[in-house]
Amino acid sequence: MSDSKITNQNTRWHEPTIKREHREKLNEHKGKILWFTGLSGAGKSTLAHALEEQLHDYGARTYVLDGDNVRKGLCKDLGFSEQDRVENIRRIGEMSRIMMDAGLIVMTAFISPFRRDRRIVRELVETGDFIEIFCDAPLDVCESRDVKGLYEKARAGEIPEFTGISSPYETPENPELIVESGNSTVEECVDEIINFLKEKEIT
Ligand code: ADP
């Protein structure tokens, strides 16, 4: 048995007296995970940050977990093999869950191309806590934006298994919300998300 398993056997969950509901009451809004998914360049990061600015102005407590930033810290030991991608999403899911429990509206901006991985995070939390927002921008639009120059490199064969080019993107089957980030403005998409959050009485 590995050392980590022995250690786990000797740990015990400590039930906190201050719970999520108390923090939510103090914050005057619910904790949630808003999971942005879509191709590279679809607008996940842009929308998550623009939404955060608005929510912050309303006095909401928020945090954006951004793909590249996480890979520089929490997940810097991970690469892009299948096993590492799964572990990357698992850690982000756990981190999001903790932050939601802390009462925050957590926005995550990760391509997260595989349905199975998104389902893993969805199943980590209660029904209704995981809100999947599909940034639906067609590949040709994302490629023409090529924000980080990655499509050019992927087309040149310099990036193996690049989502949309040499690795699949599995479109969400039943996302809570779809924003047409390929042919709407950032403001229109953010308005749509804000309306959705109000409808669901999250903010
Ligand atoms: P991702 O995080 O999905 O890789 P980014 O947010 O980094 O994508 O880049 C999206 C690019 O598309 C930005 O340059 C942004 O200004 C532009 N853009 C144009 N319209 C939209 C929209 N409706 N939503 C989001 N981004 C948009």
Beta bridge partners of residue 179, listed in sequence order? 135
- Quick one: pLDDT at residue 13? 85
- Quick one: pLDDT at residue 81? 81
- Quick one: pLDDT at residue 177? 98
Minimum CA distance residue for ligand 1 atom 27: 43
Residues 6+ apart with CB under 8 A from 97: 33, 124, 125
Measure the CA–CA gap between 119 and 38, rounded to whole angstroms.
Answer: 15
Minimum CA distance residue for ligand 1 atom 25: 43
Query: CA-based diameter of the chain, in Å?
Result: 56
- Quick one: pLDDT at residue 4? 53
Task: Residue 162: name the closest of 143, 183, 178, 141 by CA.
Answer: 143
Fold for the domain defined by 18-137+169-199: Rossmann fold (3.40.50)
Beta bridge partners of residue 177, listed in sequence order? 133
Please report the atom of ligand 1 found closest to the CA of residue 111. 3
What are the extents of the domains in the chain? 18-137+169-199
pLDDT in tens, the chain (203 residues): 445 556 678 888 888 899 999 999 999 999 999 999 999 999 999 999 999 999 999 999 999 999 888 999 999 999 888 888 889 989 999 999 999 999 999 999 999 999 999 999 999 999 999 999 999 999 999 999 999 999 999 999 999 889 999 999 999 999 999 999 999 999 999 999 999 999 988 88
Q: Cα of 147 to ligand 1 centre, how many Å? A: 8
Measure the CA–CA gap between 197 and 105, rounded to whole angstroms.
Answer: 11
Q: Is 45 in the pocket of ligand 1 (CB under 6 A)?
A: yes
Q: Both tokens of residue 61?
A: 């407590």
Q: Cα of 186 to ligand 1 centre, how many Å? A: 8
